[in-house]
Amino acid sequence: MPKFLPFLPRFFLRLFLVMVVWPLCTAATAAVRPDCSRPLTLGLHVHGLLYSSQTGTGIDKDISDALAQRSGCAITTTVLPRARIWQLIESGALDFSLSGISTPEREKFASFVWYFSNHYYLLVRQDSGVEKLPDFEARPQLQLGVIRSFRYGANANQWVDQLAAAGRISYASDLEPLYQVLLLGRIQGMIIEPFDMMDIQGTQVKDVTRVIAFDDPAIPHGLIMSKKSLSQAEQAKWRALVDELRQDGTVLRIFEKYFSPDLARSMVNF
């Protein structure tokens, strides 16, 4: 017996945790589960590793599944252009979307729960002669391809807005055609995120381009909730639920499916 004695306290501690604390925690979490009395809608958009219409998989899809599973709610997903998603979130016709970033305008109609953050990068053709960001601006013949309604960090936003005012932007509803016209040379640059890197790995795009980072800090991305369709109380419940998914490692596990462990950790822990 004396041999077991040193383990006894740990055993009782575990017993205490299992018998008392865990039920309390589940009771507490169960108490804040969102209202599932009506079917909820979630908009997905085709964007690199976030969602691929070809395979019907991606980070956003996994997060969406995790949300549905943890909340126990039926969540209908629809694949829509990003611009359309923002319109629907604003009108309240759509409850959720994912991987959204905040702007002052969006804060008016949407609230966010961050679960990862990342930097933005300019993918630019090597033959454009652009070595750093100001080079692109300084060459009026260079065109930038962006996804309509996308926003970025403060500096990148300002940079894109200046190009837009000069009529130097080509819009697209997803990245795929932009890669193609970048190869054609119809545009010379486009803005990408880490989850787009996989798209260009091993393609011709990678061979003819270089990547330049924007000098913005990592921008948090998260669950987008429509303020019109979800009450403050419901939003708080979903916020708690996402935080729970982060804390219990669910989010990290999803990201680790798509990125190296280091990158996944750096994106999720911010």
Partner 1 sequence: MKRPANWSQHLGAALLVLAASLGTTYWLWQHENQNALMDKRAQADFNLRAFLSRIEQRMLAHEQMLRGIQGLFAASEQPVTRRAFREYVAALRLGADFSGLEGVGWVPLVTPAERAAHVALQRQQGVPAYDIAPVAARPAWAPLSQLEPALASHAQSVGLDLFADAARQAAMLRARDSGMATITPKLTQLLETGAKVKAGFVMFLPVYRRGGVVDSLEARRANLIGWVVAPFNMEAWMASLYGEHAAGIDVRIFDGIEITQQAQLYDSGVPGAWPGQRSDEMLEYLNVAGRSWTLAVRSLGVSGAYASRDQSQIIARSGVILSVLLALLTWVMVSDRSRAMVLAMRMTSELRETKEHFELVFDTSPDAVMISRQADGRIIDVNPGFVAMTGYTRADVIGQALAGLAMWKTAEDRDSYLRELREHNGCENLEAMFARKDGTQLVGILSAQPANFKGVACFVGVMRDITARKVIENRMAHMAQHDPLTGLPNRALFDDRLHQAVTQAHRNRTRLALLYIDLDHFKPVNDTLGHATGDVLLKLAARRMQEHVRASDTVARIGGDEFVVLLPTVQDREDARSVAEKIREAMSEVFDLNGGHTAHISSSVGIAVYPDHAIDEIQLSKHADDAMYQAKQMGRDRVVFFGEFHPRRHAATMRVAPD
Nearest Cα to 78, choosing from 111, 45, 35, 104?
Answer: 45
Q: Decide whether 19 or 165 has the Cβ nearer to partner 1.
A: 165
In angstroms, give the least distance from the CB of 112 to partner 1: 24
From the CB of residue 170, how many other CB atoms can be counted at a distance below 10 Å?
A: 16
Question: How far, in Å, CA of 223 to CA of 34, rounded?
Answer: 14
> In DSSP terms, which residues pair with 190 in a beta bridge?
123, 145
Q: Decide whether 56 or 129 has the Cβ nearer to partner 1.
A: 56
In angstroms, give the least distance from the CB of 180 to partner 1: 5
Q: Decide whether 85 or 113 has the Cβ nearer to partner 1.
A: 85
From the CB of residue 27, how many other CB atoms can be counted at a distance below 10 Å?
A: 9
Question: How far, in Å, CA of 254 to CA of 61, rounded?
Answer: 10
Non-local (6+) Cβ contacts of 177 within 8 A are none
In angstroms, give the least distance from the CB of 125 to partner 1: 16
In angstroms, give the least distance from the CB of 176 to partner 1: 6
Question: How far, in Å, CA of 32 to CA of 230, rounded?
Answer: 15
Q: Decide whether 37 or 55 has the Cβ nearer to partner 1.
A: 55
In angstroms, give the least distance from the CB of 62 to partner 1: 12
> In DSSP terms, which residues pair with 51 in a beta bridge?
47
Three-state secondary structure call for residue 222: strand
The phi, psi pair for 215, rounded to 5°, reads -85, 40
Which stretch of DSSP H or E encloses residue 71? Answer: helix 59-71
Q: In this structure, are residues 172 and 112 in contact, taking their beta carbons and an 8 Å threshold?
A: no
Q: Decide whether 53 or 231 has the Cβ nearer to partner 1.
A: 53
Question: How far, in Å, CA of 94 to CA of 219, rounded?
Answer: 24
In angstroms, give the least distance from the CB of 171 to partner 1: 5
In angstroms, give the least distance from the CB of 110 to partner 1: 19
Q: Decide whether 33 or 148 has the Cβ nearer to partner 1.
A: 148
- Interacting residues toward partner 1 by CB under 8 A: 46, 53-56, 79-81, 83-84, 87, 145, 148, 165, 167, 170-174, 176-178, 180-181, 184, 186
Q: Decide whether 154 or 181 has the Cβ nearer to partner 1.
A: 181
- Residue whose structure tokens are 């990201």: 255
> In DSSP terms, which residues pair with 41 in a beta bridge?
76
